[in-house]
Structure 1
């Protein structure tokens, strides 16, 4: 199997594109995911990943690049959620549920209007093996931009994530960094469509970051480990999917989930091994 996979990488351009794209998405998803879970915004990632569906459908109807429509609707969803939460007695999770379900329903209707149902199916569930050169380069460009912004504003994102009240006291524009993170999350969600689709994007955003959290004592270490785990899960998932002719997107997500399951029991933070040792001693 390994030999067949390596031969495929040498001979098939589509597999080369799939490998490069999946590794890049694994790194950037793992990176942005750390800030998402530290802010308790896992549901926001899920909401935005579903909210981009109408934008994708409209892009196909208008015959423009789906990145444009997806990003616009992702940003619109994040603005609506934040506005509802900030200007009413409704809690954040309720605002997220109302917004993402409405956008998802709109997307389903627009799918019926659009003619490119096959392409939209790939957007829903991912088709990394069908990535074209232009999509690969767009993914790389967007990911480089996202990572560059994170590096540039790392200190501000760190402080606003851990203690927004102190950040306000220091004169930081907390709301600005919130929307900046929403923009980055939207960009990552759109790029991740190619590999895992809108249905499974949240898994790539959350699972590597959650796994890294179990072994990390600082945000910088968590980001590095999460990016590595995201890339590793993408590589292993692609290998399994290609070798056994099964859905690559699902293979990537399940591989990442397996990493988390193993880490859950081995992590020093969970103390399972210490408890087992004490039981054996007694």
Structure 2
């Protein structure tokens, strides 16, 4: 089994899996604590529009998805901050619009024959050195932002009313969290795809909540758990020649279920 580590594409897959897991653990904790899972899901599926536009214009896919996801995150932040009663409708609209834009631009691209399923369900084996560089820079950026603004993010996440009284710009940090979520979503496209990305963000955090009583501890434990799920899922994917994204999520759900059942019986 260890001989597979000799292959460059396996090494790239493992490295990218670890990098994605670090980002997913940190951002997933913020997504769960702020109860914005549905919003993040809308951003994830809307980013397909950026993929379609990038393919049509001949740009790097991750670049197109990143720009589109950030724009979508800002729009969603503006629309939902003062219209919480219309969140479902707004997210549904952005979700459908982004997917539709992506499909239209892919259809308009002459001679395009690349398998789009890899963007929907992930293909971590196909990660390139440029993708790894992007993920590395993303991790550095996310960690730097979270460490620098940790107190403000912590306060806004748990008590926005108190944050306002303390003079913290709640709108800014709400938008910042959505933008960080958008960046993490784009990075995770290669690993688990747009369809399953929310599972990677939420399952490790949901499990980490069982053992962690602080946001910082939850982020660290979520990153560790996400890394474990990704490595095991990647191994299963290679051995049985199945989708890496699906394998990672199945492993995560199975481990989560086992842990919850054990703790419940105790």
TM-score range, shorter chain: over 0.9
Of 236-245 and 71-80, the range deviating more from structure 2:
71-80
Query: Structure 1 pair 237/93, CA: closer, same or farther in 2 (3 Å)?
Result: same
Deviations 1:58-113 (A, max 9, x none): 11111111222212211222222233334557422221122112211222222222
**1:20 aligned residue (12, 15, 37):** 15
**1:138 aligned residue (126, 134, 137):** 134
Deviations 1:5-57 (A, max 9, x none): x10112x1011000100111112112110010111101112111101111111
* Alpha-carbon distance in structure 2 between the residues aligned to 1:89 and 1:249: 32
Native 8 Å contact 2:70 2:183 kept in 1:
no
TM-score, length basis structure 2: 0.94
The answer for the alignment partner of 1:189 in structure 2 is: 185
Of 110-119 and 227-236, the range deviating more from structure 2:
110-119
Native 8 Å contact 2:233 2:248 kept in 1:
yes
* Alpha-carbon distance in structure 1 between the residues aligned to 2:205 and 2:70: 23
Structure number with bigger Rg: 1
The answer for the alignment partner of 1:168 in structure 2 is: 164
Native 8 Å contact 2:80 2:90 kept in 1:
yes
* Alpha-carbon distance in structure 1 between the residues aligned to 2:83 and 2:24: 31
Note the aligned Cα RMSD (angstroms): 1.6
Native 8 Å contact 2:212 2:218 kept in 1:
yes
Deviations 1:148-194 (A, max 9, x none): 21122111111100000000100001111111111111111111111
User: Any runs of at least 4 consecutive aligned residues in structure 1 with deviations exceeding 6 A, and if so which?
Assistant: none
Aligned residues: 265
Matches within 5 A, 1:239-278: 239-267=235-263, 272-274=264-266
* Alpha-carbon distance in structure 1 between the residues aligned to 2:82 and 2:136: 37
The answer for the alignment partner of 2:87 in structure 1 is: 92
Give the 3-state SS of the residue equivalent to 1:194 in structure 2: helix
Query: Structure 1 pair 206/116, CA: closer, same or farther in 2 (3 Å)?
Result: farther
Of 237-246 and 95-104, the range deviating more from structure 2:
95-104
Query: Structure 1 stretches of 5 or more lacking a match?
Result: 275-282
* Alpha-carbon distance in structure 1 between the residues aligned to 2:130 and 2:73: 27
